[in-house]
């Protein structure tokens, strides 16, 4: 029975969650090793696999056939390049790298390797609600998408949060998932921040002619809530409230929201990781996965949008030439 050995780098919240998914919920793979600078944290996340402190050693280890990177953002590019150099498939949490230039280096390295090795961890592409929306849109019965309305609401921004992070940490998910949903690229953005700066409204125009409107609210207070509604020529399709149950008490009927993204996207992470493993086994990455190029697009556009926040003018969005 073929089982792929996975090494997870980073044992923080997301790294531990990925390690748990690989160890307990994914078919065709096992958790070979976990690396974290904190050995106790690595141990706690290892589910009986090897605990290490050196990520380069993990990548080099023969028991590790593929690498999942969930370490601090600043380390992503270096570790992705190391995995490519080792010829090992790698799934990297967003952001793929800190700049367009760094992302281009990854794209180039992967091209030299001669086969797709990199997947960027934009897990929403595997969320059942987004997937059913995409199926409804692609099915064609609703006609073309005219406006895609999105809300991205977090309970409360951490203390260290800066305005730009609303783009680079939060909006970046909509940047990826909406161009995937609509099968198009963005051509321009207009940013309308509220006077407090948070929330802000980002309005994109796309090459396909759709408008994408995204509210990002880092301090929405009532819970973590991601919503999308596609307004099409013949109808709309949008997300239902995500909770499977409703309670009635104290004068109201209630549907609960989670406190953060992990419960909301638990299935998406599992399905993403399974699809990644399946792709390794099959020698072909998952059709809908976010590639190195997709990771580049997200980073590249986020930078331009941060700049557009200052000017409040409609700002054309551009991408580098895509290597062949």
In the range 234-253, which residues lie near a copy of itself by CB under 8 A? Answer: 234-253
Span 251-270, contacts to a copy of itself by CB under 8 A: 251-257, 259, 267
Which of 59, 64, 70 has its CA nearest to residue 12?
A: 70
Span 145-164, contacts to a copy of itself by CB under 8 A: 146-147, 149, 151
We find the least distance from the C-beta atom of residue 321 to a copy of itself, in angstroms, to be 25
Q: What is the largest CA-CA distance in the chain?
A: 63
Span 5-44, contacts to a copy of itself by CB under 8 A: 5, 23-30
What sign results for the dihedral spanned by CA atoms 211, 216, 222, 224? positive
Span 187-206, contacts to a copy of itself by CB under 8 A: 190, 192, 194-196, 198-199, 201, 203, 205
Task: Indicate the SS3 state at residue 92.
Answer: strand
Quick check: 142 binds a copy of itself (CB under 8 A)? Answer: yes
Determine contact, residues 7/61, Cβ cutoff 8 Å.
Answer: yes
Which of 31, 27, 8 has its CA nearest to residue 278?
A: 27
**Piece of the chain touching a copy of itself by CB under 8 A; list 36-44, 84-92, 111-119, 310-318:** 310-318
How many residues lie near a copy of itself (CB under 8 A)?
Answer: 78
Q: Give the C-alpha distances (Å, rounded to integers) separating 107 from 76, 77, 115.
A: 14, 11, 11
In angstroms, the CA 284 to CA 253 distance is 46
Determine contact, residues 71/79, Cβ cutoff 8 Å.
Answer: yes
Which one of residues 209, 262, 282, 310 is an interface residue with a copy of itself (CB under 8 A)? 209
Quick check: 300 binds a copy of itself (CB under 8 A)? Answer: no
We find the least distance from the C-beta atom of residue 317 to a copy of itself, in angstroms, to be 14
Q: Fill in the per-residue mask, 210 to 239: x = in contact with a copy of itself (CB under 8 A), - = not in contact.
A: xx-x-x-x-xxxxx-x-----x-xxxxxxx
């Amino acid at each position: 029975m073929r089982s792929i050995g996975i090494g997870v780098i980073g044992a923080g919240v997301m790294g531990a969650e990925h390690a748990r998914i690989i160890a307990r919920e994914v078919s065709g793979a096992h958790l070979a090793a976990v690396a974290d600078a904190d050995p106790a944290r690595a141990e706690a996340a290892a589910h009986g696999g090897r605990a290490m402190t050196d990520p380069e050693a993990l990548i080099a280890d023969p028991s590790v056939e593929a690498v999942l990177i969930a370490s601090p953002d600043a380390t992503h590019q270096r570790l992705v390049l190391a995995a490519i150099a080792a010829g090992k498939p790698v799934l990297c949490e967003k952001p793929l790298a800190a700049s367009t230039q760094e992302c281009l280096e990854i794209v180039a390295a992967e091209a030299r390797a001669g086969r797709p090795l990199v997947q960027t961890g934009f897990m929403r592409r595997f969320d059942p609600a987004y997937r059913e929306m995409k199926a409804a849109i692609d099915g064609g019965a609703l006609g073309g998408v005219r406006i895609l309305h999105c809300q991205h609401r977090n309970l409360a921004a951490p203390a260290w949060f800066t305005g730009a992070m609303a783009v680079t940490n939060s909006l970046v998910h909509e940047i990826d998932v909406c161009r995937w949903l609509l099968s198009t690229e963005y051509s321009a953005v207009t940013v309308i921040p509220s006077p407090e700066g948070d929330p802000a409204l980002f309005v994109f125009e796309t090459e396909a002619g759709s408008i994408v409107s995204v509210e990002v609210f880092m301090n929405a207070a009532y819970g973590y809530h991601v919503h999308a509604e596609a307004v099409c020529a013949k109808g709309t399709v949008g997300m239902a409230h995500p909770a499977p149950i409703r309670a009635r008490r104290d004068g109201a009927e209630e549907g609960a929201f989670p406190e953060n993204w992990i419960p909301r996207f638990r299935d998406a992470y599992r399905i993403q990781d399974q699809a990644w493993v399946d792709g390794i086994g099959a020698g072909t990455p998952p059709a809908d996965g976010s590639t190195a190029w997709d990771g580049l697009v997200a980073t590249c556009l986020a930078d331009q949008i941060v700049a557009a926040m200052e000017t409040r003018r409609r700002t054309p969005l551009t991408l580098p030439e895509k290597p062949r």
